Amino acid sequence: MALAQTWSVGLAGVQGAMVEVEVDLAPGVPTVALVGLPDAVVRQSVDRVRAALLNSGHEFPLRRVTIGLSPAAMPKQGSGFDLALAVAVLASARVVPAAAVRELVLLGELGLDGSLRAVRGVLPAVLAAARAGHREVVVPEENAEEAGLVEGIAVLAAGSLRQVVAHLAGKAVLSPHVRAAAAPAPPGPDLADVVGQAAGRRAVEVAAAGGHHLFLSGPPGAGKTMLAERLPGLLPPLDEQAALEVTAIASIAGTLPPGAPLVTRPTFEAPHHSATMAALVGGGSGQIRPGALCRAHRGVLFLDEAPEFPRAVLDTLRQPLERGAVTIHRANGSATFPCRAQLVLAANPCPCASAAGDTACTCSALERRRYQSRLSGPLLDRIDLRVTLPPVTRAAWLDGLGTPESTAVVAARVRAARAVASERLAGSGLALNSQVPGRLLRERWPVPRAALALAERALERGSLSVRGFDRVVRVAWTLADLEGLAVPGADQVDEALGMRLQRAAA
């Protein structure tokens, strides 16, 4: 019998799924059959494996070779199966002992010269292998740090097929990769750099404390981008579970920085308005890659010059942001990625983007209104905080020169406010004010009627929708949490109302 089995891992969205690789050699005319829903890249794998074997001093068996990938129903994508295929072929030909590879997990793409190349998605793959009870995984050297993040499984790093074969044949030993102590992530940009802009600073603090989406309007140079970039620094660091999720997404997207394997800080993604739907949401040919929206999972998605984004693109964001996940469909399967991101939109007051007061702007009032209305109502309706930033005048700039509060100081208030909210929401399955449905908010945590007077008037006048009313109350709770109040009062409701209606008033 010339049958050998070993393991590799496929990816379904951000989850790894074990794939058993079987190779059977039978007498007859030399052919190769690949079965089990492989994509075009996996099909080419046979040619790469053949060349890599020959260039590593081995023969590709001149027999009837059947390669099976199971479970058959799961689509297999990418080049990560190469190493497992090559090793299974060698095991079926008894070049390496079949028993040595039976429970082994192998990941990596082969160069034609037999070198082992890095692949994407190693972290989720190794997590899946460890969960399935495998004790040992072989990965390309460049992926070793990433693979080493997973506990409970030995990681062997190899640079070539030759090294892997020598190890399995007992002629040389691949020593297990030793996990290096993680270097602390470098600090992000600091809020102390933002001079003046009290309203903007307040807005990012409230957004961070309650997890609210934010819309910043204002002339160029008002500091919209600076403020948005400083929001991730105000969010708490990622816990272990979140860090693994975010790192797994970066690994699949191919954006994991070398030498810094674990993402421990909330990320900041700022796609340009010319970005394609695939770049923004996810897609691509072959293996489905997560887009900016998913890479911002547990972090911040910043859309600068938001009215310049095609409306269809903005509308696409709505449902995933609400659901916290996005499913991408392709002919060869679909993939679901988490995308619990906080959205920050920024817009200039007019299409010519001149600083306010600049005589060069010739936009009419109508043109300005039309520009602003390019942002879809339903998307804007989901944004709790809308703040108009004034241009930074010389006087305001000099005024603010004192000592603006640093990220550390504001982040401490955010942390305290989040702790209060999560204690109040304990048992509801929610942790942030922005997540609480309006009905639940009214039933479980009513705000005294007297405090709501101004908001109710806005509702009656029609300047506030029912949904908007709920959002004002939600923000009022965040303001109360920041102040250390047990329940929002009129001051908090009024401030929240101001942050909701500012854009309409502008």
* The one segment of 71-79, 316-324, 357-365, 422-430 that binds Zn ion by CB under 5 A: 357-365
Total of chain residues touching Zn ion, rule CB under 5 A: 4
* The one segment of 4-12, 286-294, 362-370, 453-461 that binds Zn ion by CB under 5 A: 362-370
* The one segment of 114-122, 349-357, 410-418, 459-467 that binds Zn ion by CB under 5 A: 349-357
Q: How far is the CB of 372 from Zn ion (least distance, A)?
A: 12
Using CB under 5 A as the binding rule, whether residue 356 contacts Zn ion is answered as no
Q: How far is the CB of 360 from Zn ion (least distance, A)?
A: 8
Q: What is the CB-side half-sphere exposure of residue 269 using CA atoms within 13 A?
A: 28
Using CB under 5 A as the binding rule, whether residue 350 contacts Zn ion is answered as yes
Residue closer to Zn ion, measured from CB, 101 or 216: 216
DSSP label at residue 191? G
Residue closer to Zn ion, measured from CB, 28 or 357: 357
Using CB under 5 A as the binding rule, whether residue 83 contacts Zn ion is answered as no
CA 163, 167, 172, 175 torsion: positive or negative? positive
Query: CA-based angle 413:418:422, to the nearest 5?
Result: 155
Q: Which residues contact 76 (CB under 8 A, 6 or more apart)?
A: 10, 19, 36, 37, 38, 39, 42, 69
Closest by CA position to 112, among listed 50, 33, 39 = 50
Which tokens in the block code for residue 195? 């001079």
Tell me if 50 sits within 8 A of 82, measured CB to CB.
Answer: no
Closest by CA position to 471, among listed 444, 443, 438 = 438
DSSP label at residue 170? T
Which tokens in the block code for residue 387? 């703040």
Tell me if 103 sits within 8 A of 134, measured CB to CB.
Answer: yes
* The one segment of 68-76, 169-177, 242-250, 363-371 that binds Zn ion by CB under 5 A: 363-371
Closest by CA position to 161, among listed 140, 175, 143, 179 = 140
The single residue among 363, 416, 440, 501 that binds Zn ion, judged by CB under 5 A, is 363
Closest by CA position to 252, among listed 298, 283, 273 = 283
Q: How far is the CB of 355 from Zn ion (least distance, A)?
A: 10
- Using left for φ > 0, alpha for ψ between -120 and 50, and beta otherwise, residue 78 falls in left
* The one segment of 45-53, 103-111, 326-334, 358-366 that binds Zn ion by CB under 5 A: 358-366
Measured in residues, the chain has a length of 506
The single residue among 352, 355, 416, 454 that binds Zn ion, judged by CB under 5 A, is 352
Residue closer to Zn ion, measured from CB, 47 or 358: 358
* The one segment of 129-137, 142-150, 355-363, 473-481 that binds Zn ion by CB under 5 A: 355-363
Residue closer to Zn ion, measured from CB, 259 or 357: 357
The single residue among 2, 361, 380, 431 that binds Zn ion, judged by CB under 5 A, is 361
- What is the contact surface with Zn ion in residues (CB under 5 A)? 350, 352, 361, 363
